[in-house]
Structure 1
């Protein structure tokens, strides 16, 4: 149930509310050309497919799932995730359930790129900036949590001309379903500077979710580090999670 709650929260983070009329829109800010270029570059490379390795760690109370995995979109659904370390047969029951949850999640062939950055920017407003960075914020809307419960922060690296991180944070507690309540949520994605006219790839994710489900409190912390990213060709008839 707790895993279902967290997955539900992630799935809902795709609708963004319009900024207040008096605020400066992100796409009216002086850095708008860099923001547009970052979104356009991600859209171009979203047509490609990638295999990658991820060091995954999830901690829930006294339980944890730590593993090195390989994702390859050329494999069939349900077989795209391969456990590199430890041996899959050595995983305990809880770790095997966590692995199954990963395998059951749908991937669209480019989980390493900005997701819906153009939609976020269209609704975001300027928040603050330094000589090095500019930060923009948008409200997140969804049918399964109250208005004004979540917001997303987009950080632009001004020297590199790319979005270096995206943070989703809860502003107040909310209930994604009647039997569950999220008290606190923070999800952060870190991106590397583009090289050789390529995209800004996701390098690390961190998340913290605290709340209750089925009258039991829970706290879940997850970190993923991505490496060995490889562009691959997916032939017609092969699975790419699409």
Structure 2
């Protein structure tokens, strides 16, 4: 649901409780518990509102970039898109943070500021010893016809026996076996010692590996060129 707050301000949410939460935030009725990240790229903080804990996330770099601002005219802000992806994750039966609301401020139809608020998950990062659980959940996502979008091990959390997705660019898998294999290899790169989980003899894995390695090589070439200038 979208609500126009003013000529240049929008909020996205899916329940009246979420909108009330926004009003509490706007009135300053929250408590900052901890700053989790504070860099040029992003700001992330843990807040308490109404006795519950929430994550406030601001994509500073993407709010600031001229190209990202131009693209926001057509696709909205990074905060809006990430929030809707969280909603889709839960809608399709997977576990992840519960989206509360996304705020956008515009100038000349371009988003110049945005942030996202979602429920805090009381969960732990997965160790390499428990990586098999994360990989099994990734395969479950693939079997359902979706992609995680950023399938490194650190983007899976565990609470009890439940696996949760974070920082996911959740989307339909339009690439079939190649899409799944690419995510599997990306997961492997983030998890030293996880190679035994992969079917490394499969044709899709071999192609995905070569493609990913080629992209990494090209990034290094471009970085070296920039450093020489």
Q: TM-score range by the shorter chain?
A: under 0.3
| TM-score normalised by structure 2 residue count | 0.23
Between structures 1 and 2, the one with greater helix share = 2
Between structures 1 and 2, the one with greater strand share = 1
| TM-score normalised by structure 1 residue count | 0.22
Q: Which has the higher contact order (CA 8 A, sep 6+)?
A: 1
